[in-house]
Amino acid sequence: MILEIKNLNKAFGGLKAVNDVNMEIEKGSIHAVIGPNGAGKTTFFNCITSINPSNSGEVLWKGEDIAKLSTHIISTRGISRTFQNIRLFSYMSVLDNVLVGTHNLTKSFIVDAFLHSKRFKTEEKDMRDFGLELLKKVGLEEKAGEYARNLPYGEQRKLEIARAMGSKPEILLLDEPAAGMNSQETAELVNFIRQLKNEGFTVLLIEHDMKLVMSLADKISVLDHGSKIAEGVASEIQCNERVIEAYLGKRRYE
């Protein structure tokens, strides 16, 4: 088990946003977290990455409890994420946005950058080549020099994923990656996430697109009012009465 969540709790005042949640994420799997708006999904991600540290519980990464570590230390462990609301640097180029995500990989010192040492120049070229490779993966290589703000919404989503991959993570936490995408872009995203799995990545995603979730996820966990109410493969979730009532509606999702 690459990531294990044990009895995780997060409250804001009297509101329990994450209520005693337990979850196990298998290495190399695609694990989806679904639930209605306000179910605590993004807060759950924020607890894992310490953006909003949990009040209690454990976040075990390869057996190490990282719940109390800072966000930037967690990112060096091999955990990276995207956000529900796109957080790109609008007036930086597409490539430079990706290079921001590679900062954990660099070993040069400030003096190397100031003096433009051989070490700095070599590393700069290596990171640039790596950034272009990531952009090629998401189909944005030809737009490397454009401002991020000029990309269509769906391509901005892809750029966020490429930037998240810049730290060479072992697990990607994707918060609603298909939001705002048209059907063609969503289909491309599905293929891309499958490719990530084939390359050995673990993917934990929050998503409202049920067709995407049901066709893609190896396992699905369902949150409602901060609590996990169900977990299983797609066929089990589709037939779960508590899930149908809380989220999918009265008609079984086909």
- Give pLDDT tens digits for 116-158: 566 656 677 888 989 999 999 999 999 999 999 999 888 999 9
pTM: 0.87
Question: What pLDDT, on the 0 to 100 scale, is given for residue 176?
Answer: 93
**Averaged pLDDT for residues 200-213:** 94
Is the pLDDT score of 254 beyond 50?
no
> Where along the chain do its domains lie?
3-78+169-248, 89-153
Task: Return the number of other C-beta atoms located less than 10 Å from residue 70's C-beta.
Answer: 11
Question: What pLDDT, on the 0 to 100 scale, is given for residue 92?
Answer: 94
Residue linked to tokens 């169900």: 230
Is the pLDDT score of 249 beyond 60?
no
**Averaged pLDDT for residues 64-86:** 92
CA distances from 27 to 93, 152, 233 (A): 33, 33, 16
| Inter-helix orientation angle 118-137/153-164, to 10° | 130
Can you name the CATH fold of 3-78+169-248?
Rossmann fold (3.40.50)
Burial status of residue 134 (CB atoms within 10 A of its CB: 0-12, 13-18, 19 or more): buried
Is the pLDDT score of 115 beyond 60?
no
